[in-house]
């Protein structure tokens, strides 16, 4: 029997007799697609946004969130919750944005523990200029790959995954029916 196992891979498969093809389980393929598609997609957006607007994707994410919020301000903890940044990661990102005068910090009058991150005029100008460019870059990719119907299906499937895995972002800390 060992004579047929000419490489280590075969031995591994035989070692788990009940699930001989676990290494190629469809869920692993799905997860792999997710990771690869995200890396490729985000990587291209990052490069393009850097080239055209001189903006790191992380900065775009933060500025975008602020410009979409009434008053152009958000508490540090809320801003962190609504981006891919951790609390300390956001502190440092805002340090950098503040150094470039795109964002400023303001004290929260009602709770002196909190700090607002507020878009400056320069920050507003910067993100306002970047948004149409970014939308066009998204359009160039997404409209090329998907039909309008497929785009809706994909968005719905992604939203459901996000809501299931990260219930806090979906439910709390955002107004009802604000859907990104």
Partner DNA sequence: AAAGATTGAATAATCAATCTTT
Partner DNA sequence: AAAGATTGATTATTCAATCTTT
Only one of the segments 87-95, 96-104, 105-113, 153-161 lies at the binding site for a copy of itself (rule: CB under 8 A); that segment is 153-161
| Of 39 and 108, CB closest to a copy of itself | 39
Is residue 124 involved in binding a copy of itself (CB under 8 A)? yes
Report the C-alpha gap between 120 and 102 in whole angstroms. Answer: 5
Quick one: CA torsion of 87, 109, 121, 78, rounded to 10 degrees? 30
| Of 75 and 174, CB closest to DNA | 75
| Of 109 and 148, CB closest to a copy of itself | 148
- Binding footprint of a copy of itself, residue count (CB under 8 A): 71
Tell me the closest approach of the beta carbon of residue 69 to a copy of itself, in angstroms: 8
Among 84, 87, 101, 171, binds a copy of itself (CB under 8 A): 84
Work out the angle at residue 62's Cα, subtended by the Cα atoms of residues 82 and 123, and round it to the nearest 5 degrees. Answer: 145
Among 17, 113, 149, 168, binds DNA (CB under 7 A): 113
Report the C-alpha gap between 105 and 151 in whole angstroms. Answer: 38
Three-state SS string over 79-143 comes to HHHCCCCCHHHHHHHHHHHHHCCCEEEEECCCCCCCEEEEECHHHHHHHHHHHHHHHHHHHHHHH
Site for DNA in 117-176 (CB under 7 A): none
Sign of CA dihedral 5, 8, 9, 11: positive
Report the C-alpha gap between 96 and 63 in whole angstroms. Answer: 12
Query: Which of DNA, a copy of itself, none does 101 bind, CB closer than 5 to 8 A by kind?
Result: none
Tell me the closest approach of the beta carbon of residue 20 to a copy of itself, in angstroms: 12
Q: Which residues bind DNA (CB under 7 A)?
A: 58, 75-78, 80, 85-96, 105, 108, 111-115
């Amino acid at each position: 029997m060992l004579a047929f196992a000419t490489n280590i891979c075969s031995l591994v498969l035989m070692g788990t007799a009940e699930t001989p093809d676990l290494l190629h389980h469809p869920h692993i393929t799905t997860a792999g697609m997710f990771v690869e598609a995200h890396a490729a997609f985000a990587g291209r957006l990052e490069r393009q946004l850097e080239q055209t607007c001189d903006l790191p994707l992380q900065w775009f994410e933060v500025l975008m969130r602020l410009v979409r919020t009434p008053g152009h301000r958000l508490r540090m903890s809320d801003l962190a919750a609504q981006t891919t940044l951790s609390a300390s990661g956001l502190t440092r990102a805002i340090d950098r944005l503040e150094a470039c005068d795109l964002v400023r910090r303001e004290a929260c009058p009602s709770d002196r523990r909190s700090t607002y991150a507020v878009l400056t005029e320069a920050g507003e100008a910067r993100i306002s200029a970047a948004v149409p460019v970014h939308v066009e870059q998204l359009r160039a990719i997404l409209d090329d790959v998907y039909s309008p119907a497929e785009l809706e299906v994909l968005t719905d499937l992604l939203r459901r995954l996000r809501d299931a895995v990260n219930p806090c972002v979906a439910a709390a800390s955002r107004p009802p029916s604000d859907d990104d």
